[in-house]
Amino acid sequence: MKPIHWIMALALGAVAACGPRQAQPLSAFHGRLDDWTQEILADSPELASQASVAEEAAGGRYDDRLDDRSALAVEARRGAALRRLAELRALDASDLGAEDRLSYDVLTQQFEASANAARFDYGVFTPLGGVAPYVLNQLDSAFITLPSFLDERHPVRTPADAEAYLRRLRAAADAIDRETERARSDAGNGVRPPGFIIDATYAMLQDVLRQPALAQPYVVSFRRKLDQLAAAETDPAARAAIERRNLAYVARAEAIVRDHVLPAHARAAAFLRADRANADDAPSVARLPGGAAFYAAALRIETTTTLTPAQIHRIGRERVAALNTQLDIALRRVGLTAGTVGERLRQMTADPQYAYPDTDEGRAQLIADVEARVNRMLERAPQWFGRLPSAPLEVRRVPAFAEAGSPGAYYAPPSIDGRTPGIYYINLRDLGEMTRIDLPTQDYHEAVPGHHFQTALAQEIPDAPLLRRLMAFNAYSEGWGLYAEELADELGFYDGDPIGRIGYLRWQLWRAARLVVDTGLHAQDWSRQQAIDYLLQVTGDAPGVVATEVDRYIVWPGQACGYELGRREIARLREIARNELGPDFDLRGFHDAVLLRGEVPLPVLERLVREWIPRQRASGRTG
């Protein structure tokens, strides 16, 4: 997956450098691109910080502000989405060159999907059109995302940076309060999460409130950055002065957290506690106002297709059946012959020989094994990719404060200024959930050749408009991640590791089962327990993993469907290219055709691959 705050992450995954674009005549289209870009960045200081754009690109200073999460601001974003689509449609696209036409087509599909989702007046609506039904949830509400954001994306190199951090810290309390206000308003209109989601979110808020201000991630992170600033000073007298100033900064941060941020958490918790009695346990968005249409809009955004829930459900069922056949054979080869595929997978998961010790040493060994696999893939990747990203990659554990609500792993893209590498985060909350069975495939998906290759390469495209690079497409990016897992298998990375290959097939099985469960929950009236039981039966995975996943699908409808539908389309296009090109087919060229134009909707990706085929044929004949 992409980062912890997934909905924001969809708008961040392919952000690229703001370097000089190729000279071209100014046109109405380029003028609109610039206007929309600045408008979106000015509206989202957090997006601007994630992208590390220059201040002029964002319409001025942004490093001392957070996104406005008020109802008025969200409504303005919905209105802006409708207006941008109208402005795009009013442009004359008949004389656009090839690159501009590509941008126009990408923007058209994104703006149409975003405008379609803007019709709904509840839940989450991000600047570039991501939607989710519940403002307060266990996955990506402000109280969860902002500590990580300030830790990862707000540098403290100067006193001005420290002052900006403190202003953002004070704004964090306002962000939490504004979300609480919107959640209260939504509840008044019959939009609230299921009771078990409220319980989980309330528990997370209570966990935060149990910690004193000095122990809160905001203060701990700030102090660490200030200490690093002091340590860089070599003159003893100057260092002492910096340390005295830092003490004052930390005291101010502690006071802000104590007097503003923690009370905002308490107000959010109080609202959830009071509203809990009004909630039921029905998980489907179909029970919400216009819920079926909301789910259709979410699926359109997350899959960039017009497939119906019934069609997606059927695709998932068929893929699950096919993978069960492969897994049955693979499990028999390692001596597991009795029971269903799910029962045998559960037996493997519970086998202690595949677990890392749940100790500091076990966690260190897990990270070392991951780094070794990543390095092996990087060494061999030039055989299969014409271009590799220049951005470095680091492996880190998920911060302890975010472990409870986070997935098993996720990828955070590098900053465009080169100061922050691509980061592959691994959740080490429970090593029973992170076995040697599944870990290799997770590495290939989240790191290389998965999200790091796809996202970092998109950042390094020299001449695509910044607005295009602010956009991400779930089916493309997660489809590529799932394709990367399949590629690792094809290229022999599981040779001699039959257990790892079973893990790979189970990951594939998970993504197919997600199609069944997501549509089952939101279009076929499945209960939460029905979804959990199905995934336990099919995947044999740990109950804690399964429950966390199901709750994710409940609060973020449609997102889980992008993986398999994206992989399916990339694989289909590769087969088309291979059949048409025959001996002229080049895997390196195909991968470059898929990766080197940035993130695009799946219909646009098909056009790009079909345009590459004749170029590759001509190159093969003259080469």
Asked if pLDDT for residue 10 goes beyond 50, the answer is no
Instruction: Give the pLDDT score at 317.
Output: 98
Domain extents in the chain: 30-53+63-288
Least confident of 246-255, 271-280, 420-429, 560-569: 420-429
How high is the mean pLDDT of the chain? 92
Tell me the per-residue pLDDT of 460-475, one tens digit each, with 9 for 90 and over.
887 789 898 888 899 9
Distance CA 156, CA 219 (A): 13
What is the edge-to-edge ordering of all strands in the sheet holding 393-397?
Answer: 393-397, 422-426, 409-412
Binned at pLDDT 50, 70 and 90, residue 413 comes out as confident
> At 182, which amino acid appears?
R
Q: How confident is the model at residue 405 (pLDDT cuts 50, 70, 90)?
A: low
Instruction: Check pLDDT > 70 for residue 145.
Output: yes
569: which residues sit within 8 A by CB, 6+ positions away?
475, 479, 602, 605, 606
Q: And the tokens for 313?
A: 């459900």
Say what percent of the chain tops pLDDT 70: 94
- Produce one character per residue of 362-399: b if its CB has 16 or more CB atoms within 10 Å, e if not: ebeebbeebbebbeebbeebeeebeebbebebebeebb
* pLDDT greater than 80 at residue 183: yes
User: pLDDT tens, 294-349?
Assistant: 999 999 999 999 999 999 999 999 999 999 999 999 999 999 999 999 999 999 98
pLDDT tens profile 207-234: 999 999 999 999 999 999 999 999 999 9
CA quadruple 506, 4, 275, 192: dihedral, nearest 10: -70
Instruction: With a cut of 90, say whether residue 128 has pLDDT above it.
Output: no
Q: Choose the weakest-confidence range: 185-194, 252-261, 391-400, 519-528.
A: 391-400
Q: Is it the case that residue 381 has pLDDT exceeding 70?
A: yes
DSSP strand pairing (393-397 vs 422-426): parallel
Q: Per residue in 574-606, pLDDT tens?
A: 999 999 999 999 999 999 999 999 999 999 999
Per-residue pLDDT, 502: 97
Q: List phi, psi (to 5°) of 139.
A: -110, -50
Q: What is the pLDDT of residue 26?
A: 53
Give the model confidence (pLDDT) of 439-466 as tens digits: 999 999 999 999 999 999 988 887 789 8
Question: Encoding tokens for residue 230?
Answer: 């002091």
Q: What is the pLDDT of residues 546-573, one digit of tens each?
A: 999 999 999 999 999 999 999 999 999 9
pLDDT score recorded for residue 144? 95
pLDDT at 25: 45
Two tokens, residue 578: 């291979």
If pLDDT is split at 50, 70 and 90, which confidence band does 545 have?
Answer: confident
CA 326 – CA 331 distance, rounded (Å) = 9
pLDDT over threshold 90, residue 402: no
